[in-house]
Structure 1
Amino acid sequence: MLDRLNEASEFVEEDPGGAVDVAAMARIALTSEHHLRRTFAVLAGMGLSEYLRRRRLTLAGAELGG
């Protein structure tokens, strides 16, 4: 199960600035969108939306500072 969730997370990392297809992530993880969001929140300590927001801010800061 964790391997599939990691694959779904890698799907986001391919283009973190782009639109996120949660349905596609759920298909990769072989679960429902609801279960994917809940499991992600438990494992990451934050919801998927918050993770994406923080990830995008980190990348934007790296572009400005680097």
Structure 2
Amino acid sequence: MVVVTCEGIGLGYDDGFNHHTKQCRFFKTLPKTVDEIMLWGNRIGHQRTSAEVRELFAL
């Protein structure tokens, strides 16, 4: 799963992490499919709050 620790971040860089480490960070574990879903969302310009991510991926 991916645990998001801040609000309003753009999700889904190629390595599955947010590069704006001064703004926020998140911790990646299993499964990788969650990161892949986030990648697709980010590529079309979607931004998600942590609440939306929790809801989408049942975190």
The TM-score bracket by the shorter chain reads: under 0.3
In terms of fraction of residues, the more strand-rich structure is 2
**Structure showing the higher helix proportion among its residues:** 1
Please identify the structure whose Cα radius of gyration is greater.
1
RCO (CA 8 Å, sep 6+): is it higher in 1 or 2? 2
